[in-house]
Structure 1
Amino acid sequence: MKRIILSLCVGLAAISPCATAQGQWSNSFTADDARNARERGEILPLKDILRPIESRYGGEMRRFVGLFDRNGQKVYVIDWTTRQGELVQFTINAQTGRIISVS
């Protein structure tokens, strides 16, 4: 039974949005890379990114997908559950906080 569950988890991880985002947008940043970029003022802290989303859409962050490099631009990718229960994915400019896309 444990092997079946482990196989399912590995299979789901292979098709997760994170895997898609990494393939689509180059590499993801490690936690240390993100912290260093934040300390250098290159990106906004995640809490500053989440406040406007929460105000506008309600709900809460379901999963932090990651911080990625997209054509030289650092972007946060976040899975969000709105107050209506809809699951959406935000791509946000990590430097300005501007929402690039909602899908």
Structure 2
Amino acid sequence: MKRIVASICLGLIAMSPAANAQGQWSNSFTADDARNARERGEILPLKDILRPIESRYGGEMRRFVGLFDRGGRKVYVIDWTTRQGELVQFTINAHNGQIISVS
């Protein structure tokens, strides 16, 4: 009986929104992968990505979520606090710096 309850609990955890949200960014790059891509000119340095966001939205980066593969292109995901104190998440094309989404 305990095994059945434990199995059900594990199944519910795996199906939770938090687990599913993590799955959308599962193809992440290591720091070495990111550095190598930057050295090859495949992605922009993070500092170059942050400058336009800072000038347009004000505020500051709250958390660097990571560098991920999204549909075959590399994207930076960044949590940002605007000058109004609003927390937003940016998804940015790591190759050209274009903002893909703000949520």
Per the normalisation by structure 2, the TM-score is 0.79
Question: How many pairs are equivalent?
Answer: 87
Deviations 1:38-83 (A, max 9, x none): 0000000000000000000000000000000001000000000000
Q: Does 1:71 align with 2:71?
A: yes
- Structural RMSD (CA): 1.8
How far apart are residue 25 of structure 1 and its match? 3.9
Deviations 1:5-32 (A, max 9, x none): xxxxxxxxx938xx82x51144100000
Residue 56 to residue 78, structure 1, CA distance change in 2 (3 Å) = same
- Percent of aligned positions that are identical: 89
3-state SS, counterpart of residue 44 of structure 1: coil
Partners in 2 of 1:91 and 1:28 — Cα distance?
13
Per the normalisation by structure 1, the TM-score is 0.79
Please say if residues 90 and 100 of structure 1, whose CA atoms lie closer than 8 Å, have aligned partners that are also in contact: yes
Ranges in structure 1 where 5+ consecutive residues have no aligned partner? 1-13
3-state SS, counterpart of residue 85 of structure 2: coil
- The structure whose Rg is larger is 2
Identify the residue that residue 24 of structure 2 maps to in structure 1.
24
Identify the residue that residue 37 of structure 1 maps to in structure 2.
37
Partners in 2 of 1:36 and 1:86 — Cα distance?
33
Ranges in structure 2 where 5+ consecutive residues have no aligned partner? 1-16
> What letter corresponds to residue 64 of structure 1 in structure 2?
F
Partners in 2 of 1:15 and 1:73 — Cα distance?
24
Residue 26 to residue 72, structure 1, CA distance change in 2 (3 Å) = farther
